[in-house]
């Protein structure tokens, strides 16, 4: 079945450091890939997405490229801020036969950014 594996946390960085959170997936078809972010005390919200191979999703300085050859969707940011401290979830979503999507989440990676 489909699955998502992301690097374990917590990840602790100093402000302005470079961030990479690795995410790999297994899927039988052609899923869409997502990164969601959960700030303290809040629900998950979409950070970025990519719907086909070689697409790059980007938002708020974060980027991730859909790599079909390596089945990866690694999240990167060139210079993190304290306000980026949150839990990040990698997810894939595949269209089912009923027209709805089935989503699988990774375990989440907690990021702490120190001033």
- Cα within 13 Å of Cα(36), Cβ side: 17
**How many whole angstroms separate alpha carbon 44 and alpha carbon 41?**
10
# chain residues binding another protein, by CB under 8 A: 25
Binding of another protein by 59 (CB under 8 A) = no
CB under 8 A: which stretch of 18-26, 60-68, 73-81, 106-114 binds another protein? 106-114
Binding of another protein by 85 (CB under 8 A) = no
Specify the residue, 50 or 113, whose C-beta has the smaller distance to another protein: 50
Q: Give the distance between the most distant pair of CA atoms in the chain.
A: 48
Specify the residue, 14 or 51, whose C-beta has the smaller distance to another protein: 51
Q: Dump the DSSP string for 19-36.
A: EEE-EEEE-SS--EEEEE
Which listed residue (25, 31, 62, 113) binds another protein by CB under 8 A? 31
């Amino acid at each position: 079945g489909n699955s998502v594996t992301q690097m374990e946390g917590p990840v602790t960085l100093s402000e302005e450091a470079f961030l990479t959170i690795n995410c790999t997936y297994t899927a039988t078809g052609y899923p869409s890939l997502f990164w969601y972010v959960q700030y303290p005390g809040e629900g998950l919200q979409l950070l970025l997405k990519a719907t086909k191979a070689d697409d790059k999703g980007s938002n708020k300085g974060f980027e991730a490229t859909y790599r079909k050859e390596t089945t990866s969707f690694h999240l990167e940011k060139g210079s993190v801020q304290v306000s980026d401290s949150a839990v990040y979830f990698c997810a894939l979503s595949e269209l089912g036969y009923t027209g709805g999507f089935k989503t699988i989440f990774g375990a989440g990676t907690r990021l702490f950014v120190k001033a």
